[in-house]
Amino acid sequence: MAESLRESGRFFAIPDVLKVPAGVSVDMELVGWGATEEEARETLRDKLRSGPLEGCEILVEENLSYKFA
C-alpha cells in the first residue's frame, strides 16, 4: 500500500526528533498518508497518539514539516 501511495504522490514522510515532557528524546521517522495533506496530518497525529509516545504531549507537533517523499 505504501508503494502505491508513494507512486501516486500522496505519501508524506516526516523525519524529526520528538521531545516528550519527561525529557526523553525519541528519534524516529514519522509517516502520514492520505488523499490530501490534511488527511496525511490526521494519520500522523493518530500515530503520535499511540505506540511509544502514547499519552505524551507532542511538543514539536506544530513545527513538523510535511513533504512529498
pLDDT, tens digit only, all 69 positions of the chain: 444 434 444 444 444 444 444 554 544 555 566 667 677 677 777 776 666 555 554 444 444 443 333
Distance CA 39, CA 21 (A): 27
Which residue is it, cell 523525519? 15
Distance CA 29, CA 44 (A): 11
Q: Where are the domains of the chain?
A: 2-63
Which stretches of 1-69 are DSSP H helices? 2-8, 37-48
pLDDT at 18: 45
pTM for this prediction: 0.38
The type of residue at 40 is: A
